[in-house]
Amino acid sequence: METDIYLRLARHMDNLPGGFPAAESGVEQRILRRLFTPEDAELALALTLLPEEPHVIARRAGITPGEAARRLEAMERKGLLFAIHSPGEPSQYSAQHFVIGIWEFQVNNLDPQFVQDFDEYLPTLFNPEIWQKAPQLRTIPVGAAFDSPIEVLAYERAEELVQAQDKFAVAPCICRREKRLAGDGCDKPLETCLTFGTAAEFYERNGLGRAISKEEALDILKQAETAGLVLSPSNAKEVLNICACCGCCCGVLRSVKRYPKPASLVSTPFVAEVNLETCQGCGTCSRNSKSSA
């Protein structure tokens, strides 16, 4: 019965836009067993991507509202879902994708075996042919459609997104922390993952990050720009996070680089062009683009 629960949970998560495809080795099942108790898995099957109050989820799960509230709160602390707690309002809970979502919520729970399992699962999870039924990193709406699932931002555009926010938190980059734990990391800044609004409240409430000011958030963007990190916002009408990624540790960027035509997977409103009147053929722009990746 326990096996059935995890298979059902895997299918449930794979039906979410972020996907959770099965690997030949079954490593995704090891990951689920590590994260979810059978009871957690059963309740996770009753979650949707829409935030809902415990009594709604309880009805779907066939349990009492009080039991649902208690178990959902415990699952929030484990980083197995997303929660919104507004003053004077009932708490609301929603399902999360494995990436971007549950995996990032485990930033303080990594160990060598967990890292090994994730790296084993990475080629299946980020297989460009099957990954993401819908984009998880944002494509900025500009009145036209894009096929790419990822947008790379220039510093100026990222600054605009930050300026529009009023609640901020910063967390360590799970990709660089993961690689450092495995003895294969880089020296890029670690504390660079920005979250906003309800996501910032979630990170602060659950000890995943610390609250910062708008000025600190803008300074982190400057640090990321100086370090040559790639700025990628979440794919949402209201931006909840901006990742600052490096090509040596980031699972998404590493997977993109393995694809024969990586540029087809990445969208950006900024395109490099050669000015034949001023170009001296020094190769600096080519070298800089390779080092930032």
Class of domain 2-125: mainly alpha
**What pLDDT is stored for residue 65 in this prediction?**
98
Cα–chain center distance at 14: 16
Judged against a pLDDT cut of 50, whether residue 129 lies above it is answered with yes
Cα–chain center distance at 149: 13
**What pLDDT is stored for residue 10 in this prediction?**
97
Judged against a pLDDT cut of 50, whether residue 139 lies above it is answered with no
Report pLDDT digits (tens) over 186-217: 999 999 999 999 999 999 999 999 999 999 99
**What pLDDT is stored for residue 151 in this prediction?**
54
Residue with more model confidence, 201 or 156: 201
Residue with more model confidence, 258 or 124: 124
Residues ≥6 apart with Cβ < 8 Å to 232: 137, 138, 150, 151, 152, 153, 242, 243, 245, 252
**What pLDDT is stored for residue 293 in this prediction?**
46
The packing angle between helices 54-61 and 65-77, to 10°, is 110
For residue 103, what are its two tokens? 């995996």
Residue 176 burial (C-beta neighbours within 10 Å; 0-12, 13-18, 19+): buried
Q: Which H/E stretch holds residue 33? A: helix 27-35
Q: Are strands 210-212 and 168-172 parallel, antiparallel or unpaired?
A: antiparallel
Report pLDDT digits (tens) over 17-71: 888 999 999 999 999 999 999 999 999 999 999 999 999 999 999 999 999 999 9
Judged against a pLDDT cut of 80, whether residue 134 lies above it is answered with no
Judged against a pLDDT cut of 50, whether residue 259 lies above it is answered with yes
Residue with more model confidence, 144 or 87: 87
**What pLDDT is stored for residue 266 in this prediction?**
55
Residues spanned by CATH 1.10.10.10 within the chain?
2-125
Q: Where are the alpha helices (DSSP H) in 150-249?
A: 155-163, 174-181, 197-205, 214-226
Q: How many degrees, rounded to 5, is the angle at CA 49 between CA 80 and CA 251?
A: 60
**What pLDDT is stored for residue 131 in this prediction?**
57
**What pLDDT is stored for residue 62 in this prediction?**
97
DSSP-based three-state secondary structure for 285? helix
Judged against a pLDDT cut of 70, whether residue 290 lies above it is answered with no
Beta strands in 197-289, from DSSP E residues, in sequence order? 210-212, 230-233, 241-245, 266-267
pLDDT band at 260 (very low <50, low <70, confident <90, very high): low
Candidates 72, 125, 77; CA nearest to 105 is 77
Q: How many CB atoms lie within 10 A of CB 227?
A: 15
What is the full DSSP assignment across 139-169? PPPSSS----SEEPBPHHHHHHHHHT-S-EE
pLDDT, mean of residues 166-191: 94
pTM of the model: 0.81
Q: How many CB atoms lie within 10 A of CB 84?
A: 16
Q: Which residues pair with 6 in a beta bridge?
A: none
Cα–chain center distance at 236: 12
The answer to whether the beta carbons of residues 161 and 141 sit under 8 Å apart is no
